Structure formats: structure tokens, C-alpha cells
Amino acid sequence: MLLYYVLNSEEKTPLNHIGYIDESLKSDDKPINKIYTGLSIQRRIFDMAFSIHEQRLVGVILALLFLASGCVWAINYELSKKQTFVLRAPLSLKQEAQKLTGSVSISYDQLAFFIIAVLPRLYSVDENGYPFLPLIQGLIDPSIISHAEAGFNQLGSELKSNHMTQTLTVTAINDVIADEKLGRAAAYVKGNVCVTLNQARVLFYPYRAQVLLAVNPVGLLNPYPFYILKCEEKIGAKAIEWDLQHDNKRFLDL
């Protein structure tokens, strides 16, 4: 509006280079006023043209950014549909050595689970023998298994004639003592032995045992971290008396 007013007024006032009225350029010389006015118009046209190119450049940059963002989201969507595979590298020789020779902490839960899972298999008997002895090989000292087999060989005929079965139920595991330096643990086991005769008569006997265990590296033969070294047992009235006389500390030092 200011430029239109200056160009059409009778007393034209010259403009400076940014389009404002410059009082120092006031003159009655009309050609000078026209020159300054023309330069101001050309500069404004140049500024407008530069702004248009600048806006186009900004538009192109924004379009490229949106395109790159769309590519990232598309790649992320394609990758999310694929299954994830985890490849675990095998242990080094140093890690394998530490696994075998490193000290293993003795947990009561692990010890109790091992005794409940293994010890009843040693006393499981029917008229055909010890059906679970092959399963506990490698978990118990071979001399204990040999002793159980010898007892069956002596009473094999009576077991068959009377159709006898025998099972052990563990009811408590008390007085657990562990020595992590030696890698051993001792426990006092309470339970009941159930004997059936001719599938009709049932007899129950109190059972007590002192069990000595050694910490054992887990392997294919023994999937448990323990191994039974020794088992002293008492059944019947002697088992009840043993509750006041057993000494797990002495048993651990053996």
C-alpha cells in the first residue's frame, strides 16, 4: 500500500533500499525518485523468488524425510514377522573347567528333592525283584545297590510265594549339615515302610536313615548335583529310639 501510494502521489517521496521513506532523498528531481523506486521493486521480487525456491527446497527435504521414515517402518514390520533364532556359542575350555572344578553351593531344596526322588527307589520291591535299581545306578554308591540285591536273593522265594511288595514313603528330612569345603552333606530321613502280603495284608514300619551325600557335577549318568555315599538305616522300634541318639555331625566327618 505504501509503494502504491508513493508511485501514484503527486509529491513522490523516494524510498530507500528496504522500501521505507528516506527523508534525505526528498528532491524535486523526478528521475532519481523513479530509479530508487525501481530498485526497491526489483529487490522485493528477488526476495519473493528466493522464498519460493526456499519453500520448494524445504518441501523436498520433508518429502525425503517422510520417505525414509516410511522405509524404516516397513523394514521394521517385515522383520517383526520373522522368527527370532538365538545361537548360543559352546562353552570355552576355561568355562568347562570352572564348571567341573568350581565349588557348588548346597541347597536344602535340591538336597530334599534328590533324597525324595532317589531313596524310595532303593526300597521299592515286588515279587519280581527291585524294578527301579537300574534307574538309580550312578546316583548311589555301588556297594549300597549290591547290598540291596543280596537281600533280594536271600528272600526271593518268600517274596514270590507271599506276593510281597515294599515301598518307602519319606515324611521328613531333618538335621541337614553341610560342609561346602569338603563338598558333602548329611541328612536325617524319617519315613514309613509299607509291606503288603498276598495283596490283602498291609504292614507299616517306622523308618529312619542317616544319609551321607557328596556334591557331584551334573552329567548324563547323574542329572542331580548329589551322589549318595552312605546310608545307615533302622526300621521298626529301633528307628524310634534312634531319633534321640543319631549324630549327623559324626556322620558327616566319616
The ranges assigned to domains in the chain are 2-68, 103-252
Longest distance between any two alpha carbons in the chain, whole Å: 145
Residuewise pLDDT in 10s, the chain (254 residues): 444 444 444 444 444 444 444 444 444 444 555 555 556 777 777 777 778 878 888 888 999 999 999 899 888 888 777 777 777 778 777 766 666 555 556 678 888 999 999 999 988 888 777 888 888 888 899 898 888 888 777 877 788 888 888 899 999 998 888 887 788 888 999 999 998 888 888 899 999 999 999 888 777 778 888 889 999 899 988 888 888 877 766 666 65
pTM, to two decimals: 0.55
Angle (CA) 180 230 101, round 5°: 35
Which segments of 216-252 are extended strands (E)?
226-235
For domain 103-252, give the CATH number: 3.10.450.230
169 CB-near residues (< 8 Å, 6+ apart): 120, 191, 192, 193, 194
